[in-house]
Chains A and B, each alone.
Chain A
Amino acid sequence: MSSIGELRQLARQRRRGGPKQRHPENLAGYVFLAPWLLGVVVFTVGPMIASLLLAFTDYNLLQPPTFSGLDNVVRMISDDRLWNSLRVTLVYVVVGVPLQLALALGVALLLDKGMRGLALYRSVFYLPSLLGGSVAIAILWRQVFGKEGIVNGLLALVGVEGPGWISHPDYALASLIVLHVWTFGSPMIIFLAGLRQIPQMYYEAAQVDGAGTVRRFVSITFPLLTPIIFFNLVLQITFAFQSFTQAYIVSGGTGGPSDSTMFFTLYLYQQAFTELRMGYASAMAWFLLLVIAAFTLANFWFSRFWVFYEEDSGATRGGGRRRKAGAA
């Protein structure tokens, strides 16, 4: 079961109430959990509260923070570069993630047939997503999409003179999106695992009923895969919002040309560590959290219209058990 599935189940248990539980292993439980608990308090919950407070201060690391009320918020509202960075990030997420997932799903569908060369294809498609976040690949991308890069080399073959993609404000972001799509391998692996979970007998029954390829996809594969598509969507959106390295390296840390690759995270980094506006950066971080949370909530809300959970439908009574087996 995915992390999202676990959370759903916890929420459902809570609603149901259930019998009062006994805790015979309190001591051992807390001993084993101690490092994690300490970590959560010191490095997660504590800092979250602290950054929320810092968001209402002026703080440059050198003098102690001074309370500034809603100054940071007011400033954010009128900060054109901030809104631009949000727009750049949104374009990256809203275009990049669906393209990446569509490609991942498409390729996974092509691969899931016990076909020849499956392992090799899977490796080749997966490799880029392992390397994709590294500085070396971002450096490579600078050249691939540079004025004299491979892309323009290919275009020259068909007689088109391409621009310097990376150095042109209209195209720089597009080349970063291509980089994102290039890393479709890891969601593809998740889709492949999901496809394996679909009982073969469904397809056999459908075939007996005379269902064609398209019909089988629409009526069996897609509905049964929707929880996994949903899981991928939520996760990839969350990750994509936090992309940083690619934009930093491709633009040499500036977010240029003309702020066209200025991701929100990059602007936040600049505010915090070059301008030393720690209070402002904290306010930005909380804003980012809210934006991501809004996307996640919207996703959950929309999910009721298109995500199909087997255990919710009365049709498959054995569904719960199969699910257990899947979680093993």
Chain B
Amino acid sequence: MTSVPAARPAPRALPRPRRTTSPVRSVLKHACLVALSLLMVYPLIWLAVSSLKHNEAIFTDLSIFTSDLTLENYVYGWTSQQLPFGRFLLNSTILSLGAIVGNLVSCSLAAYSFARLRFAGRNLYFAIMLGTIMLPFHVVLVPQFIIFRELGWLETFLPLVVPKFLAVDSSFVFLMVQFIRGLPREVFEAARIDGAGHGRIYARITLPLMVPALATTTIFTFIWTWGDFFGPLIYLRTRENFTVSVALKGFVDAQSSSNYGAMFAMSVVSLVPLFFAFLVGQRYLVKGIATTGIK
């Protein structure tokens, strides 16, 4: 499947044969797509609008058109989980940054070796790497938990960050392998002739050329880490360490008090960084999915 670089002329550049679609069909198609679009985003808009409504009004008036808006849910929600929500945002941010750095460094090293170097056992390792993309993590869950417990790493971010420095996210290794393979061979050969070692070729030539793949990795790692629930749920059980997703769970647990407005408000807060990453990195996200099929 297509991935990114290479000076391949875009097939789009060819003049397309004029399709004779009747205007009726075109209108019908757009009507379908618009209807589906509305259906898709309506819940999201409803969430955003509801977070700005007075608590009593959320379920009595389900429409998204209202002028009676308030920020009280945000004010109340921010402090309703004992610690200010900023703390959880900070924790999620630290975790995400750690995971991003880890993935960028470790996955690019592994990818360079898979894509550019010939060594004994490469095909076997490559097959294992591809296989781990599909491996359900549950089969390693309990022993990993035991390892981290023995190391005294429970209630720290280490179990969620350190593995990233050892390239456990195979999808990104694969993504980068695909990318490096697509780089023009001549560049590497020229560097070899000039006497550059692999360290130099990796750092000075490969990394700068693979910025798009690094960007894709960054954005996906951010989105996954920010949204991850299972990891923080089992490794971070004290409130000071909660990430945004675990903190949100607090609203569900305290369903009896059920302040829906505050719950919605903080849900929106948790989604804003994801939405932002989506806006900024859409291009890279689309390429990443098309290449490897990662979410």
Contacts and interface: CB of A to CB of B under 8 A. Distances in A.
Interface string A8-47: 0010011000000111111011111111111110111011
A260 to B, nearest CB: 17
A200 B14 contact: yes
Contacts of B143: 46-48, 50-51, 54, 282
A142 B142 CA distance: 30
Given A23-B120, A121-B37, A328-B181, A2 B292 contact: yes
Contact of B245 (A35, A54, A122, A134): A134
B2 to A, nearest CB: 6
A91 interface: no
B17 interface: yes
A36 B173 contact: yes
A29 B115 CA distance: 10
Interface stretch (B70-78, B128-136, B210-218): B128-136
Given A26-B119, A36-B110, A121-B33, A150 B46 contact: yes
A44 B37 contact: no
A124 interface: yes
B101 interface: no
B59 to A, nearest CB: 4
Interface size class of A (residues with CB under 8 A): 35 or more
A7 B19 CA distance: 38
A29 B116 CA distance: 9
B290 interface: yes
B165 interface: yes
A39 B136 contact: no
B135 A289 contact: yes
A326 B181 CA distance: 11
A139 B252 contact: yes
B118 to A, nearest CB: 5
Interface in B19-67: 19, 21, 29-30, 32-33, 36-37, 40-44, 46-47, 50, 59, 62
B267 A35 contact: no
A126 B206 CA distance: 31
Interface in A154-196: 182, 186, 189-190, 192-194, 196
B271 A134 contact: yes
Interface string A121-139: 1111111111101111101
Interface in A105-130: 107, 110-111, 113-117, 121-130
A232 B290 CA distance: 11
Contacts of B160: none
Q: Which of B40, B168, B182 has the most CB of A within 10 A?
A: B40
Nearest to A50: B143
Given A235-B134, A285-B142, A328-B181, A135 B19 contact: no
A262 interface: no
A95 B163 CA distance: 34
Nearest to A244: B230
A150 B142 contact: no
Q: Which of B125, B174, B229 has the most CB of A within 10 A?
A: B229
B32 A110 contact: yes
B166 A35 contact: yes
A182 B40 contact: yes
Contacts of A140: 43-44, 47, 264, 267
B181 A135 contact: no
Nearest to A21: B118
A1 B1 contact: yes
A248 interface: yes
Contacts of B59: 148-149
A241 interface: yes
Given A43-B163, A130-B285, A235-B293, A326 B252 contact: no
Q: Which of B109, B274, B289 has the most CB of A within 10 A?
A: B289
A265 interface: yes
Contacts of A327: 1, 3, 178, 181-182
Contact of A38 (B1, B166, B174, B197): B166
Nearest to A197: B2
B274 A24 contact: no
Q: Which of B37, B140, B268, B282 has the most CB of A within 10 A?
A: B140
Contacts of A124: 37, 40-41
A200 to B, nearest CB: 7
A84 interface: no
A226 interface: no
A134 B270 contact: yes
Q: Which of B106, B142, B174, B245 has the most CB of A within 10 A?
A: B142
Contact of B110 (A33, A107, A269): A33
B127 interface: yes
Interface of A: 1-3, 5-7, 10, 13-14, 21-26, 28-40, 42-44, 46-48, 50-51, 54, 61, 107, 110-111, 113-117, 121-131, 133-137, 139-144, 148-150, 153, 182, 186, 189-190, 192-194, 196-197, 200, 204, 207, 228, 231-232, 234-235, 238-239, 241-242, 244-245, 248-249, 252-253, 265, 268-269, 272-273, 278, 281-282, 284-286, 288-289, 292, 296, 325-328
Give the top 7 A-B pairs by smallest Cβ distance, nearest first: A39-B166, A29-B119, A32-B113, A193-B290, A47-B143, A136-B267, A47-B140
17 contacts: A2-B293, A6-B174, A33-B125, A36-B129, A39-B168, A44-B140, A113-B21, A126-B285, A135-B244, A135-B248, A136-B267, A194-B1, A252-B255, A272-B145, A292-B134, A327-B3, A327-B182
Given A61-B149, A114-B12, A278-B146, 13 more contacts: A5-B1, A7-B127, A22-B118, A39-B167, A50-B146, A127-B41, A131-B271, A140-B47, A193-B289, A200-B17, A252-B255, A272-B145, A327-B3
